[in-house]
């Protein structure tokens, strides 16, 4: 008898559920609400879910605080952070591990795998992984190196039936680099802000609403 794989839902966000193993690239201006959007996409919706953050430009403690402010439960058995910021420090009691720099992609990958296994051991059989943001990685390494890192990361998430949500401000990279990085993902969620209105639209993801739709962040 086959076992039905889980799907990942997004609560009141204007997004349909996605299959396990899906990786989404979220693009939008840094000051347009993209961080809040990513946090809400990573909120655990079932008791068997966990959340894992790769924090490249905001330290681990601030990341956990922002997740809690978005409505997430910061349970160290189910939630953890790989802190890649240069000012970051490890905090075992809150399940924060430190790499020391976004330039150390090998170290990030190792700590990600270790932390993922720790969350699964704590009961989180389905893990939502968020990367905020890809900008610092691109600053320290060329696009091909970052793509290889993302290809490995998204492959691990796909194999583990997880969910991957990675954010980038398209204004921080050239169009060719953005197009290259996007190839590591199953689809894209674009966020745009005009005056006081925030809208999103999807591309490449199955069974999603068409066109731009408003979102309350």
All domains in the chain, ordered by first residue: 17-205 (3.40.50.300)
Cα separation, 34 vs 24, whole angstroms: 13
Residue 178 and residue 150 in contact, taking contact as beta carbons nearer than 8 Å: no
- For residues 3-37, b (16+ Cβ closer than 10 Å) or e, as one string? eeebebebeebbbeebebbbbbbbbbebebbbbbb
Specify the pLDDT at position 1.
42
Specify the pLDDT at position 2.
46
Please report, in angstroms and rounded to a whole number, the separation of the first and last CA atoms in the chain. 42
> Across the 217 residues of the chain, what is the mean pLDDT of every consecutive 10-residue run?
76 96 97 95 96 96 97 96 94 96 96 97 96 96 97 98 97 95 98 92 95 95
For the whole model, what pTM was predicted?
0.96
């Amino acid at each position: 008898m086959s076992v039905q794989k889980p799907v990942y839902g997004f609560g009141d966000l204007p997004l349909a559920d996605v299959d396990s193993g899906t990786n989404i690239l979220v693009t939008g201006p840094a000051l347009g609400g993209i961080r809040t959007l990513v946090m809400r996409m990573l909120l655990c919706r079932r008791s068997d879910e966990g959340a894992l953050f790769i924090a490249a430009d905001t330290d681990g403690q601030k990341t956990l605080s922002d997740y809690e402010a978005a409505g997430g439960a910061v349970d160290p058995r189910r939630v953890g952070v790989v802190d890649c910021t240069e000012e970051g420090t490890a905090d075992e009691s809150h399940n924060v591990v430190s790499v020391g720099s976004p330039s150390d992609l090998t170290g990030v990958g190792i700590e990600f795998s270790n932390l993922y296994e720790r969350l699964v051991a704590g009961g989180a059989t389905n893990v939502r992984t968020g990367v905020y943001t890809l900008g610092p990685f691109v600053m320290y390494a060329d696009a091909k190196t970052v793509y290889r890192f993302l290809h490995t990361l998204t492959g691990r998430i796909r194999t583990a039936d997880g969910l991957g949500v990675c954010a980038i401000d398209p204004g921080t990279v050239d169009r060719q680099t953005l197009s290259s990085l996007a190839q590591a993902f199953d689809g894209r969620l674009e966020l745009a802000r005009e005056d006081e209105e925030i809208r999103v639209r999807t591309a490449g993801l199955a069974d999603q609403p068409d066109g731009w739709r408003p979102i309350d962040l």
